[in-house]
Structure 1
């Protein structure tokens, strides 16, 4: 009986030790709004800064039983742009769009793009992601997203766009 008890104790201890070595994966969402100004030139890259994005990652880390110092990897898994204004506007006015991330003390990195956007693109546009590691960016309380677009054709109203982003996080469990 004593051997059985010791074996169970050892198994429980071994399992709890292994739990610290387990990785978890979860997702968190973020979004940013920006406006493409109607005065933008045709066939020229136009850089559009956005206000600081509140990361929200700290709360997501806490909700998923981890914290920033235990995060191993963060990548942008998906991103979709949606036109919010003016009504009826679609992405056909764009040739290309590139999104870049930056944060205090960190270099700017391209995180997503679309090239050769079709003229009948619609009001939603999924971008290709670059799979760059973004841990150090989203661990900060804020980061910046800069958008660069190449306009296909002249347009006469500002176009408001929302970028909805889904990040995938891999981290150690608390």
Structure 2
């Protein structure tokens, strides 16, 4: 009888070992897929400037185009071991605006701001915006990202941002603003 119980116990132990081993193998494979997937993602950072001239009107929308932004995408993709044909997705991750001058400048004069992207042969698309409810006396503002697919724009040699603003205060001097953008790229890595 003891021999029979030991044999059943050993058989159950063997089955449990196989089940646990299978579980750990599946877990390791799933975890490594997530790790590999993260290795195929990287950020592209771009910076541009624009100026807002003194204003005398409020609640009137006006638009400004930034200078063309050179993507240098081929080299950026190569530095991340990929190629533009292997790009699966590019989306805006963050966009931040900073008043460079005047030194004491702030965004209190803005009521709404909208940012659009365009490139040769592509339709203009809104990529970020924000409505400012309170004056914060801040010279930095982060916009709400809309999450569109922007692969076609960033694969071009150049793209351009159009900034549309509505003010709720006048400003007496030109405000020079730096726009920092961070795009998240998801690509297939060469050899993976």
Q: TM-score range by the shorter chain?
A: 0.7 to 0.9
CA-based RMSD: 1.5
Structure number having the greater helix percentage: 2
Match of 1:149 among 161, 165, 168: 165
Query: What does residue 85 of structure 1 align with?
Result: 101
1:70 matches 2:70:
no
**Unpaired runs of 5+ in structure 2?**
1-32
| TM-score, with structure 2 as normaliser | 0.76
Residue 37 of structure 1, CA deviation: 1.2
Query: What does residue 35 of structure 1 align with?
Result: 51
Q: Which has the larger radius of gyration?
A: 2
Residue 55 of structure 1, CA deviation: 1.2
1:135 matches 2:151:
yes
Structure number having the greater strand percentage: 1
Residue 118 of structure 1, CA deviation: 2.1
**Unpaired runs of 5+ in structure 1?**
1-18
Name the CA distance, whole Å, in 2 between partners of 1:71 and 1:143.
Answer: 17
Tell me: CA distance 1:117–1:163, structure 2 relative to 1, closer, same or farther (3 Å). farther
Give secondary structure in 1 for the equivalent of 2:169.
coil
Residue 59 of structure 1, CA deviation: 2.0
Residue 56 of structure 1, CA deviation: 2.9
Name the CA distance, whole Å, in 2 between partners of 1:145 and 1:82.
Answer: 16
Query: Deviation digits for residues 20-47 of structure 1, max 9, x if unmatched?
Result: xx65111110011011111362111110
Query: What does residue 108 of structure 1 align with?
Result: 124
Give secondary structure in 2 for the equivalent of 1:154.
coil
With CA pairs under 8 Å and 6+ residues apart, which has the higher RCO, 1 or 2?
Answer: 1
Name the CA distance, whole Å, in 1 between partners of 2:133 and 2:68.
Answer: 27
| TM-score, with structure 1 as normaliser | 0.84
Residue 117 of structure 1, CA deviation: 4.3
Tell me: CA distance 1:53–1:130, structure 2 relative to 1, closer, same or farther (3 Å). same
4+ residue runs over 6 A deviation: none
